[in-house]
Amino acid sequence: MESVHAIKQRFGIIGDDPKLNRSIEKAIQVAPTDISVLVTGESGVGKESIPRIIHALSHRKHNKYIAVNCGAIPEGTIDSELFGHEKGAFTGATSTRSGYFEEADGGTIFLDEVGELPLPTQVRLLRVLENGEFLKVGSSKTQKTDVRIVAATNVKMFEAINQEKFREDLYYRLSTVEISLPPLRDRKDDIHLLFRKFASDFASKYKMPTIRLDDDAVQLLLKYRWSGNIRQLRNVAEQISVLEQNRSITLEKLRAYLPDTGANLPAVVGSKKGESDFSSEREILYKVLFDMKSDLNDLKKLTLELMENGNNASVREENKSLIKKIYQEEDTDAFESAEDITEVLQIPQESVVSAPASDKYHFAEDVEEEETLSLQEKELELIEKSLERHNGKRKAAAKELGISERTLYRKIKQYDL
């Protein structure tokens, strides 16, 4: 069995991070077997190296190795690509075609981005994993294949399973052994080493001197988040190698090639967008319901205070403000009596304790009975004229009178207009 160091040299893997070494060790250990392997990790961490190691160290190494990017094949043709099709199976199928599983018989298939497979294709793949059988598109004849499947994904599989985007039974068949590769930001000691290797390779490729980072630039390189991982680091090294005339790279020069450099914040791990969005909406709904409950409790308290302290000026003002807050009422003086409150709260009138006629619960200033009658007559006259002017349209009349439509409706009912 080859050592981890020898494998890294053989496959051009740079770095000495313990997590990286452990992933390579697992690949070496499972290679002689035929069990399925699932390689996980963020995009750009180098997942494609693991299946190549597994195939090269297996008894299938002299047979075909086929890498398939499942995310790059359209949903309508993925079954044909993987399992083949018969002549006439669909429009454009002018001849019989062998799929990857037939071509790779005896070898290894690497299914990259397996989390992007459509559900019907997942069912077909599960059958291959369980008994090595598949059907060509448009055929009813079962065929056998002997392939080793290594899959890779950057999708959080349990989230995909919970959202019913990936079959749970297929996940467990693929991940008999799971090998996880660490993101570049967790391999701090390897970052500068990788950059120097890329810089050297590009200097040789483009026949120019190798770029060098000063100390401050190296520190920025190590602190940067590298959301695109090794692929992003390689891209930055190539850009600088081609574009910079001065081969000594300062912090400011490096910063120009790093997007959002100022936002070097810790990575957000395990974000569940779909669930968090729903959770936030649910929390807002709960808050609204609790606020409504609180408002209703305040109104109940208000009703009791009106019955007990109807002539208390400070209580009247406080309760006017409360009603305005809850009902957004333009004309809070419209709630002139306990009867008005019970009408709004839909409290049966008989449940309200009767009070003497002298204890009217007015929000407005107390006035003499004669003046009140006179005001009521004027109010009735104004309402009638306004309704007549606007041809009975309550909304326009209420706007002209400076009161809410609901208050006007109550007045119409009160005066039997």
Q: What is the structure's pLDDT at 243?
A: 95
Same domain for 147 and 170, yes or no, is yes
Same domain for 333 and 405, yes or no, is no
Q: What is the structure's pLDDT at 303?
A: 66
Question: Of the candidates 148, 182, 216, which is a domain's last residue?
Answer: 182
pLDDT digits (tens, 9 = 90+) for 176-231: 999 999 999 999 999 999 999 999 999 999 999 999 999 999 999 999 999 999 99
Look at residue 181 and give its three-state secondary structure. Answer: coil
Same domain for 213 and 246, yes or no, is yes
Low-confidence ranges of the chain (pLDDT < 70): 261-375
95 located within any domain = yes
Same domain for 39 and 171, yes or no, is yes
Same domain for 61 and 178, yes or no, is yes
Query: Which CATH number belongs to the domain containing residue 52 in this structure?
Result: 3.40.50.300
Q: What is the structure's pLDDT at 92?
A: 85
Same domain for 280 and 341, yes or no, is yes
Strand ordering across the sheet containing 177-180: 65-69, 108-112, 148-153, 37-40, 177-180
Same domain for 176 and 38, yes or no, is yes
Report the C-alpha gap between 416 and 147 in whole angstroms.
88
Question: Of the candidates 163, 182, 201, which is a domain's last residue?
Answer: 182
Report the C-alpha gap between 249 and 192 in whole angstroms.
13
Look at residue 114 and give its three-state secondary structure. Answer: helix
Same domain for 205 and 172, yes or no, is no
Q: How many domains does the chain have?
A: 4
Q: What is the structure's pLDDT at 38?
A: 98
Q: What is the structure's pLDDT at 414?
A: 79
Q: Is 249 exposed, middle or buried (0-12, 13-18, 19+ CB in 10 A)?
A: buried
Pairing of strands 142-144, 133-135: antiparallel
Q: How many residues make up the chain in this entry?
A: 417
**Domain span including residue 213:** 185-255
Same domain for 174 and 51, yes or no, is yes
Same domain for 56 and 98, yes or no, is yes
Query: Which CATH number belongs to the domain containing residue 394 in this structure?
Result: 1.10.10
Closest by Cα among 240, 231, 177, 182 to 206? 240
Same domain for 87 and 106, yes or no, is yes
Provide the CA 308 distance to its chain's centre, in angstroms: 54
Q: What is the structure's pLDDT at 330?
A: 44
Q: What is the structure's pLDDT at 90?
A: 86
For tokens 């100022």, what's the residue? 262
Same domain for 237 and 306, yes or no, is no
Q: Which residues on neighbouring strands pair with residue 198, listed in sequence order?
A: none
263 located within any domain = no
Q: What is the structure's pLDDT at 320?
A: 57
Query: Which CATH number belongs to the domain containing residue 215 in this structure?
Result: 1.10.8.60
